[in-house]
């Protein structure tokens, strides 16, 4: 495969994986059900999602370090975008934080 195409695939895959992970985290925090069993059942799904992201990053990298590094860069860029879009949490009077959005 062309080197430029492989690097672009790594960067795009990192952006997509980051959007998937951080979008999922945002969705989980926004839609808390207040039911412990429901919240407990999401933990294995989140871990499975992270394992799939790692496997997908390895696949998108083509077993080379340059595309893997660009995939990581895309993942970090997606995190920065998620932080900018979500804003900072607002502290409550009791010391805990409220997720705004």
Domain boundaries, the chain: 3-98
**What mean pLDDT comes out for the span 53-60?**
79
Token duo for residue 48: 């499975």
* Reported pTM: 0.69
Give Cα 61 distance to the centre of its chain. 17
19-39 pLDDT, tens per residue?
888 887 777 777 665 666 666
66-98 pLDDT, tens per residue?
888 888 898 889 889 888 887 766 655 665 555
How would you class 17 by CB atoms within 10 Å of its CB: exposed for 0-12, middle for 13-18, buried for 19 or more?
buried
């Amino acid at each position: 495969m062309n080197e430029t195409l492989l690097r672009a695939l790594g960067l795009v895959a990192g952006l997509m994986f980051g959007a998937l992970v951080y979008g999922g985290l945002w969705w989980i925090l926004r839609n808390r059900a207040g039911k412990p069993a429901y919240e407990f059942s999401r933990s294995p799904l989140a871990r499975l999602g992270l394992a799939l992201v790692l496997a997908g990053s390895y696949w998108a990298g083509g077993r080379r370090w340059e595309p893997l590094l660009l995939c990581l860069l895309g993942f970090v860029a997606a995190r920065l975008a998620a932080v900018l879009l979500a804003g900072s949490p607002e502290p409550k009077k009791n010391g805990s934080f409220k997720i705004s959005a």
